[in-house]
Structure 1
């Protein structure tokens, strides 16, 4: 799925599926707005400076419309990537966007207490946690139970290696499998019922966010 594809029920967003967009119309419009912000970021034309003046203007309250669940990688700064101001975006981070209890609880809080109707699961290329899991599977000498992150990422890493062609880098496949896996996990949470969960990948070199297929 390409971010600027022409298909879909709302201009700018390809099919997540079409039924998802019809069910989550307002959240889908928020997604369009965030992708437009990413376009400004890529073009080097951000709307928001996020300086102290803006921070003071938003100090008394917040009205976020979306949450981004992403990796801890220092190069992935969601507020900049989507060109959002203070108070517009909630960000939850774990290595490899592993949906542990604290992360899921934070997203559930965002939905219940702050009315967030959109969660973007944002993976990124060259993810260190994904690569660590791939190396562990390849070495076949690592007990995944001894390392929480490796244990949590073992399935997408092993599947990517099994499906990769000879000489193919399995990391991009593992990353996308983990994004889809996280989207599916969040989609099964009763406390996130009614929230649109979208998967995406951030390109470290171009700055572009690309939506990915649900399955």
Structure 2
């Protein structure tokens, strides 16, 4: 177990405080009472420099907008997107840059219901129609899709279960990387219908 230095303790506290603030922002978003307008005035104020407090690694889905969901202003969040939040080299490199150069202490892996990439992977597993030469995303999402289908009797909503498995898998992947040591990585799910962001456990 790594030694808990004063710096690491301060960083963990900062990450936890940032996460609480983001969830409070989500509460404002759901209540229809956002704090930030994100207008041109705010954009100009943030233009000289950026000091994001967290990164959100989420899906490319056009219905999922992290800055709105967490009611954050320009410069407060760094957002990385891939379909199904697959941690490819570019995505991981972007998060590593955010930690090393911008000093973020928190990464939120944000999945969402009715994910098209997850749906495509489930269909490919069910029909056994995967071609690894062309279906990169399906290949990357094959494991959570296969597990969700195998556990369908216990978890009947296979798409939702597969998405949560992929969130946990991504959190575990990022958490193992020495380049992100000291960064708090948490998993969450965005509900498309209600706008609520809920944290999920790692198991």
TM-score (norm 2): 0.93
Moved over 2 A (4+): 141-146, 166-169
Q: 1:162 maps to what in 2?
A: 150
- Superposition pairs for residues 1-150 of structure 1, below 5 Å? 24-150=12-138
Inter-CA distance 166–144: structure 2 relative to 1 (3 Å threshold): farther
CA contact 2:29–2:71 (8 Å) conserved in 1: yes
CA distance in 1, matches of 2:91, 2:130: 26
The answer as to whether partners of 1:144 and 1:154 remain within 8 angstroms in 2 is no
Give ranges in structure 2 of 5+ residues lacking alignment: 1-8
After superposition, the C-alpha distances for 1:82-134 in whole angstroms (9 at most, x for unaligned) are 00000100000000000000000000000000000000000000000000000
Root-mean-square deviation (CA), in Å?
1.7
Aligned partner (choices 163, 173, 178) of residue 185 of structure 1: 173
Aligned length: 196
Cα 1:182–1:194, aligned 2, differ >3 Å: closer, same or farther? same
> d(CA) in 2 for partners of 1:60 and 1:128?
37
Deviations 1:23-68 (A, max 9, x none): 8221011000000000000000000000001101111011110000
1:146 deviates by 3.0
- Structure 1 pair 186/166, CA: closer, same or farther in 2 (3 Å)? closer
